[in-house]
């Protein structure tokens, strides 16, 4: 499903209309949130399992309990509590994405323009900003794939079956 959503976002953005670009941005924003949350949940799970194996400690991990915190806090927790491949670059990009997304949404809520006015400066700026955040999301997706694979490889090497 995630791949279908990514493809839909790409198609919508390529359409070039403000509504298509905005749709793509919403998909990307939610996907980036999900992936960051997924990374944090999996790293926490690995620590729980490792502690259990290493210390024969009682371990309770509830996979149905999802992390319900903002992207900014997820970035902070990943930065302070974990090491993983390309961490600094990934977190810098994730933080920048979060700030830009917030800025765009704040500016959007203050706009009072006709969405069909292709000559409107505010609308053209919004389209440009939305394209930029989509590019950042694509870069985050690429980095996430590398990081997830790296974390999986580290885990597999450290804990062979």
Query: Are 134 and 6 spatial neighbours (Cβ–Cβ below 8 Å)?
Result: no
**How sure is the predictor about 92, in pLDDT bands with cuts at 50, 70 and 90?**
very high
Instruction: Tell me the average pLDDT of the chain.
Output: 83
- pLDDT value at residue 1: 84
Burial of 28 (0-12, 13-18, 19+ CB in 10 A): buried
pLDDT confidence of 32, banded at 50, 70, 90?
very high
Q: What is the pLDDT of residue 152?
A: 63
Neighbours of 36 (CB within 10 A): 25
| pTM of the full structure | 0.79
């Amino acid at each position: 499903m995630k791949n279908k959503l990514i493809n839909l976002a790409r198609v919508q953005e390529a359409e070039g209309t403000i509504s298509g670009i905005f749709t793509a941005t919403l998909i990307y924003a939610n996907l980036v949130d999900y992936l960051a949350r997924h990374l944090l949940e999996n790293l926490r799970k690995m620590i729980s399992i490792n502690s259990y194996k290493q210390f024969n400690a009682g371990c309770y991990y509830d996979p149905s309990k999802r992390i319900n915190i903002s992207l900014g806090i997820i970035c902070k927790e990943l930065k302070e509590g974990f090491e993983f491949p390309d961490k600094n670059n990934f977190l810098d990009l994730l933080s920048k994405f979060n700030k830009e997304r917030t800025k765009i949404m704040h500016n959007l809520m203050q706009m009072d323009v006709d969405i069909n006015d292709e000559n409107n400066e505010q609308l053209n700026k919004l389209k440009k900003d939305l394209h930029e955040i989509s590019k950042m999301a694509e870069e985050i997706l690429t980095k996430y794939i590398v990081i997830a694979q790296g974390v999986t490889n580290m885990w597999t090497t450290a804990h062979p079956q």
